[in-house]
Chains A and B, each alone.
Chain A
Amino acid sequence: AQTVTQSQPEMSVQEAETVTLSCTYDTSESNYYLFWYKQPPSRQMILVIRQEAYKQQNATENRFSVNFQKAAKSFSLKISDSQLGDTAMYFCAFRAGNNRKLIWGLGTSLAVNP
């Protein structure tokens, strides 16, 4: 069975600094997709970034980038120049091939301090 593990329940970072959130997954599939979602205090779930397993290049969206290590089954999220608005719960999610269901980690609560 596929699993997603986020080993850091809580993290904090100073404004303008860089922080990395960890995510590992377990699967025997070769074709899959990985996602990071953000859930601010407003409760809205927002897609931050996606990575296709067949792509070797790490995905980047503005200040958000991933370090995708396929052999290690690791998918970490790096937030550069952290802003107060980045304070949120961050969830890592996995989808195998044509399976329409996502497997979710339990989340990392990130606090950005002024």
Chain B
Amino acid sequence: DAGITQSPRHKVTETGTPVTLRCHQTENHRYMYWYRQDPGHGLRLIHYSYGVKDTDKGEVSDGYSVSRSKTEDFLLTLESATSSQTSVYFCAISGSAPPHYEQYFGPGTRLTVT
């Protein structure tokens, strides 16, 4: 299994509070991704990173920001959490060339915004 951890695994927070989710990898892969998964929508990309301090938006980036100061860590911040951001969040990693170009996923974080 790819070495990817996410923290916290579960979180309940109140509307309007900031929340930061952490993804940590031990594979030294260049690419990292944040997705959210909601019933009926499958997996939707929030942001991704193609190197330290290099990030780009995905299809549902509004209300989210990311940072990557080290190869191994990719942080997702909900600047002011809303109930619509209640979801399961997945981090994924991929390498630069075969056989590492497919994405491998962390265990997910269930976030509930009340």
Do A104 and B107 touch across chains, with their CB atoms under 8 A apart? no
**Contact at B108–A44, with CB atoms within 8 Å?**
yes
Chain A residues touching B, range: 10 to 19
The answer to whether B103 touches A102 (Cβ under 8 A) is yes
| B48 touching A100, Cβ below 8 Å | yes
Q: Does B108 contact A91, Cβ atoms closer than 8 Å?
A: no
Whether the pair A43, B107 counts as a contact (CB closer than 8 A) is: yes
Chain B nearest CB: distance from A111 CB in Å? 17
B interface size (C-beta, 8 A): 22
Are A91 and B42 in touch, CB under 8 angstroms? yes
The answer to whether A105 and B102 have CB atoms under 8 Å apart is no
Known: A45-B90, A91-B42. A101 touches B107 (CB 8 A): no
Give the number of A-B contacts (CB < 8 Å).
Answer: 40
Inter-chain contacts of A44 with B (CB < 8 A): 105, 107-108
Report the Cα distance A44→B5, complex, angstroms. 12
B64 at the interface (CB under 8 A from A): no
CB nearest to B31 among chain A residues: A100
Smallest distance from the beta carbon of A110 to chain B beta carbons, Å? 15
A102 — which chain B residues lie within 8 A by C-beta? 43, 45, 103
A25 contacts the other chain (CB 8 A): no
A101 touching B45, Cβ below 8 Å: yes
Which A residues are closer than 8 A to B by beta carbons?
Answer: 33, 35, 43-47, 50, 91, 95, 100-102, 104-107
